[in-house]
Each structure stands twice: as structure tokens, then as C-alpha cells.
């Protein structure tokens, strides 16, 4: 919610509740160095001249606090500071950069509980997931520290005598990170930790609705940089809305734009970056499927499906949204799944035992309702759930199971809510084809005990997704592998494996130490 700039010095504090939940939020903010009103721009100094945006607890509707966002001028100054900081940071040896990231890792660990609690309060995921998200940043920081000693190039054999060819990697400069509301800590962490050891400065624009988390994380990192006498703009922050994101995408000073969000917005970001021949890393939509074959471990598959479809209230990019069940086990599986859904506790994400918190916004609730209506209109039926829980404060809906045709338009549309479409199939080839028929290509999983099906699934005739799992859910990826997807998911890769190479420029270097000038391909030019 945007607050008029004329609302006074403590603008953003209006509507602050005095409930127990609000007292919890006050203690959490204080533990992280936040207040009811906060500046949302950091480039070595804190500032902000844009709109003041209130953060609202999606479980209660209460205002948690407010952040003054970046103006266009603020962003321009921040990019200038980040560009200057990048020249300082790239001169620091990579292992020394890793040492700074190690200190950031320790500082995050010291604040893991209040920061995880803030994620639960501001985003709406349950406390265990909020703390787990901070742990994910800590894990990728550990990974990046080791990576700082392994940014290896290679020696390439030269066909010319007295010559040596090398492939080396150097920093890009400034990396812009535009992250989404659903993972307000981890996605930035994936990008920031790896990008920093690669020698880049980072400018971050998180989702406006999770700006308190963005400020809290940046305060932790800034303290480490300042303690080491390094420019704060190495980890710069410019909170804001679509205008700030668009400006980052269009600015030539940003060498790489890493964007996480919807396919539609990602397409616009990619177009803007490509028009200036910049680099982009896209993590976009997912319409992920689980296939349960007739030889699967049913207990394992049911438990995995519940976590994959209901965790984070269906608001992960890797949430399972389609469930393909072999006709031989379909009815039994659906019955067990409906029973399991009936035992899910829905409520305030800070309460013990709650497994499904609220949707993040009223717009998400409206999208849920629209999706349920489309299921009925397109020949499907609701097997469980399907209702908005108006008896609870905040943005609560029932986790929902439907039965519908594989090619119904609503099935091919990503709805960021806990709606799971169940579909019966006859053979494994049919299930794989249906898995691949949607526009998105992020995550997929097959439950089977057949080696033949497993290796077919992960091979060229199998899933076309970036993440191809067997006997585990579609979500809950580890940091050691590259994370990302194909097709309308954008093709970007973050986190582990060789994802670090996207944050650097590859250079092929040929060195002549022979004293003569032989040319390649045997060309004579005399």
C-alpha cells in the first residue's frame, strides 16, 4: 500500500495494530535494526525520496511497517556508486572476496531467527519455511566461499608453435537483481553470494510488498562491508516498483539483470535488456507436474505431493500444479490425497502446527477464485477445497484438488495459489507428453521403481524441464545444482554447478612467445 508523501514524519505507521501479532512484529523489527518507518535506498549511505510503501501482514491485514522507496534520481545515484564500487571490488583477489562473503554468512546466521520470522510475517510462509529460506542463503554463501578458490579457466592447445591459448573469466561489473515476493531472501542470496565472489557489485530491487525484508538483509551485509573498510555500494539496494525495475533493465551500467517473476514481466525485462545488448538471467513461471506411475511407492508419493502442492500456500515457482496418476492407482491415490488434505492445518504462519499460511495479497485471492471458476466452466470439478476462508482475517484459501482434462486452458495457466489439478493417464509415454505440453519448463518429478522409466524420464525423450526429479517433490531444490528451467521459464540458471559463469565474462587469450608470426589455418600473408 502506497502512503501519500504528505502523511508526516512517521508516515507508514498509520494502521499499526496493537494486537499480540503486532507486538511480535515490533520485537522482530527491532532485532533487525528496523523501525515502523525505514529508508529503502542504500549505496554506502541510507536514503530514499520515492513513495512510502507499507508492508502488510497477509495473515492479519495489519501494517508491519513502511519503507521509503527509491526515486529515479536515487537509482541513478545508486548505480553510479555501484559502478565505482565495482572497480574497487574486482581488484580484491577472489579468495579474499570469499572471506567477505564468509563474514556475511556468519552475520546472517546470527540473525536467522528474527530474519526468518520477518519473512513469515511479511511474505506469509510458515515460520519453518521462513527460517529455512534464510538457511538457504547461508548455504549458498558457504558454497560461494569455496567457489571463490575455484573460478577456473582452462588451457586450450594451440595449433601454432610457440603459442599458448588460455580461457579466463573476469567480473562483469554491476549485476542488477530483481527478485519476487515469494522468496524475499533466498533468491537474492543465490545471486548475491555467487556474484560477489565473481567480483561484481550488486544492485537489488526486491518486491515492494517485502521491502522490510530487503532492508533487513541489506543492513546485515552493509555492516560487514563497513567493518572491512569496503564500499557499501558493493551491496546496494533500491527498493521500488515497476518503474525502478524497468530503469534497471534499461540502464547500460547494469551488465547483467537477474530477474525472477512472471513470464509476462520477464519477457518485457528481457526485451529491454537485449535492446541495449546487455545480459539477462531469467527465472520465470513454472507449471510443474508430478507423475505417479502404477509401480510407485504410494505413501512416498502422497506425502511428497502434499508438500509440493501445499507448501508456501502454493506460491513457490516449483509448486506442483498438475498431478498425473496412472489409471490403475488413480482412485486410491485421490482418496488418500483428499484425506491428507483434510488434515492440513490452515492459519497464522507463526502458530505451531500450521502447514498452510495465507496467500500474499488480495490479488492472489482473486486469482484463486478466478481459477476455481474456470475449472467449473471448463468441465472440471473440485474434489476438495475451492473456497476462500472469509472467517479468517487475512488472505486465506483452502488448498484445492480438482479433476480436469489435461488440456483445459486453466491447467496450462500458472495460478500462484494452492490449486492441484489431478489427471488420469494410460501409459508413461502419454504422461510424459502431457508433462511437456505446457509453455513452462521449470520442474518435474516421476514416482516409479522402474529403472527403465527412470532413465527414459531423465533422457532425451523424457521431461523437457530444467529440473527433472525422481521419487522426490518438484520443490525443495538443493543449492549445489543449477536452478532454473526451459521454454517460458526463461532458460536462466542460478545457484550451483556452472551457474557462476553467467556472472562473469569469458575471454579467450592467445599468447605468442615464439618471436615469429605463424597464422592459424596455415594462412600465408607475406
Q: Measured between alpha carbons, how far is 17 from 14 in angstroms, rounded to an integer? A: 9
End-to-end CA distance of the chain: 72
Q: For every residue of 34-54, which 3-state class applies, written as one string? A: CCCEEECEECCCEECCCCEEE
Choosing from 198, 235, 317, 465, which is the catalytic residue?
Answer: 317
317 is catalytic: yes
Q: Measured between alpha carbons, how far is 34 from 214 in angstroms, rounded to an integer? A: 11
- 44 CB-contact burial (10 Å; exposed 0-12 / middle 13-18 / buried 19+): buried
Choosing from 122, 283, 414, 494, which is the catalytic residue?
Answer: 283
16 close to 36: Cβ distance less than 8 angstroms: yes
What is the full DSSP assignment across 119-147?
HHHHT---HHHHHHHHHHHHHHHHHHHHH
Q: What separation in angstroms does the CA of 490 have from each of 65, 284, 358, 392, 412? A: 34, 6, 28, 37, 17
369 is catalytic: no
The closest of 326, 298, 316 to 422, measured between CA atoms, is: 326
185 close to 115: Cβ distance less than 8 angstroms: yes
Give the side-chain half-sphere CA count within 13 A for 62: 17
Cell numbers that stand for 194 in this block: 555467487
479 close to 140: Cβ distance less than 8 angstroms: yes
Helices (H) and strands (E) counted in the chain, each on its own, are 14, 25
Q: Measured between alpha carbons, how far is 125 from 117 in angstroms, rounded to an integer? A: 9
Q: What separation in angstroms does the CA of 404 have from each of 309, 384, 412? A: 16, 13, 11
Q: Measured between alpha carbons, how far is 36 from 29 in angstroms, rounded to an integer? A: 8
Phi, psi of 235 (to 5 degrees): -125, 75
Phi, psi of 522 (to 5 degrees): 70, 20
261 close to 91: Cβ distance less than 8 angstroms: no
Task: Provide the sign of the torsion angle of the four alpha carbons 370, 371, 375, 381, taken in this order.
Answer: negative
State the catalytic residues.
283, 317
Amino acid at each position: 500500500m502506497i502512503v501519500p508523501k504528505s502523511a508526516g514524519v512517521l508516515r507508514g505507521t498509520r494502521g499499526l495494530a496493537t494486537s499480540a501479532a503486532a507486538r511480535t512484529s515490533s520485537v522482530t523489527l527491532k532485532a533487525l535494526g528496523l523501525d515502523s518507518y525505514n529508508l529503502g535506498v542504500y549505496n554506502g549511505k541510507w536514503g530514499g525520496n520515492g513513495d512510502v510503501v507499507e508492508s502488510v501482514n497477509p495473515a492479519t491485514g495489519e501494517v508491519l511497517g513502511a519503507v521509503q522507496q527509491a526515486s529515479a534520481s536515487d537509482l541513478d545515484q545508486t548505480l553510479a556508486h555501484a559502478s565505482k564500487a565495482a572497480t574497487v571490488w574486482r581488484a580484491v583477489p577472489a579468495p579474499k572476496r570469499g572471506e567477505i562473503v564468509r563474514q556475511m554468512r556468519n552475520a546472517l546466521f546470527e540473525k536467522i531467527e528474527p530474519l526468518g520470522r520477518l519473512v513469515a510475517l511479511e511474505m506469509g510462509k510458515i515460520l519453518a519455511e521462513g527460517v529455512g529460506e534464510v538457511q538457504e542463503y547461508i548455504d549458498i554463501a558457504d558454497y560461494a566461499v569455496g567457489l571463490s578458490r575455484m573460478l577456473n579457466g582452462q588451457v586450450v592447445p594451440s595449433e601454432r608453435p610457440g603459442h599458448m591459448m588460455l580461457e579466463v573469466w573476469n567480473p562483469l561489473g554491476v549485476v542488477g537483481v530483481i527478485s519476487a515476493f515469494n522468496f524475499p531472501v533466498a533468491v537474492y542470496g543465490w545471486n548475491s553470494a555467487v556474484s560477489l565472489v565473481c567480483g561484481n557489485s550488486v544492485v537489488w530491487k526486491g518486491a515492494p510488498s517485502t521491502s522490510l525484508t530487503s532492508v533487513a538483509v541489506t543492513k546485515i551485509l552493509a555492516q560487514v562491508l563497513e567493518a572491512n573498510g569496503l564500499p557499501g555500494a558493493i551491496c546496494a539496494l533500491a527498493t521500488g516498483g515497476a518503474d525502478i525495475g524497468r530503469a534497471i533493465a534499461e540502464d547500460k551500467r547494469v551488465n547483467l539483470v537477474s530477474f525472477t517473476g512472471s513470464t509476462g514481466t520477464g519477457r518485457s525485462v528481457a526485451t529491454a535488456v537485449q535492446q541495449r545488448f546487455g545480459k539477462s538471467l531469467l527465472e520465470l513461471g513454472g507449471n510443474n507436474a508430478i507423475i505417479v506411475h502404477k509401480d510407485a511407492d504410494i505413501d512416498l508419493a502422497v506425502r511428497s505431493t502434499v508438500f509440493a502442492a501445499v507448501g508456501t500456500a502454493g506460491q513457490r515457482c516449483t509448486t506442483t500444479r498438475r498431478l498425473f496418476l496412472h489409471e490403475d492407482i488413480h482412485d486410491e491415490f485421490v482418496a488418500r490425497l483428499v484425506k491428507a488434505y483434510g488434515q492440513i492445518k490452515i492459519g497464522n504462519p507463526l502458530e505451531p502446527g500450521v502447514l498452510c499460511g495465507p496467500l500474499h495479497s488480495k490479488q492472489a485471492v482473486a486469482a484463486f477464485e478466478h481459477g476455481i471458476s474456470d475449472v467449473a466452466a471448463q468441465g472440471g470439478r473440485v474434489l476438495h477445497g475451492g473456497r476462500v476462508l472469509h472467517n479468517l482475517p487475512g488472505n486465506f484459501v483452502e488448498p484445492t484438488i480438482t479433476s480436469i482434462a489435461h488440456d483445459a486452458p486453466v491447467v496450462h495457466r500458472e495460478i500462484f495459489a494452492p490449486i492441484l489439478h489431478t489427471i488420469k493417464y494410460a501409459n508413461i509415454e502419454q504422461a510424459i507428453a502431457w508433462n511437456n505440453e505446457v509453455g513452462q519448463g521449470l520442474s518435474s518429478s516421476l514416482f516409479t521403481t522402474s529403472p527403465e522409466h527412470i532413465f527414459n524420464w531423465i533422457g532425451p525423450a523424457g521431461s523437457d524441464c530444467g529440473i527433472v526429479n525422481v521419487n522426490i517433490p518438484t520443490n525443495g531444490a538443493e543449492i549445489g545444482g543449477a536452478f532454473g528451467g526451459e521454454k517460458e521459464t526463461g532458460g536462466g540458471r542460478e545457484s550451483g554447478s556452472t551457474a557462476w559463469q553467467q556472472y562473469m565474462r569469458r575471454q579467450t587469450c592467445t599468447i605468442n612467445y615464439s618471436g615469429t608470426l605463424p597464422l592459424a589455418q596455415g594462412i600465408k600473408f607475406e
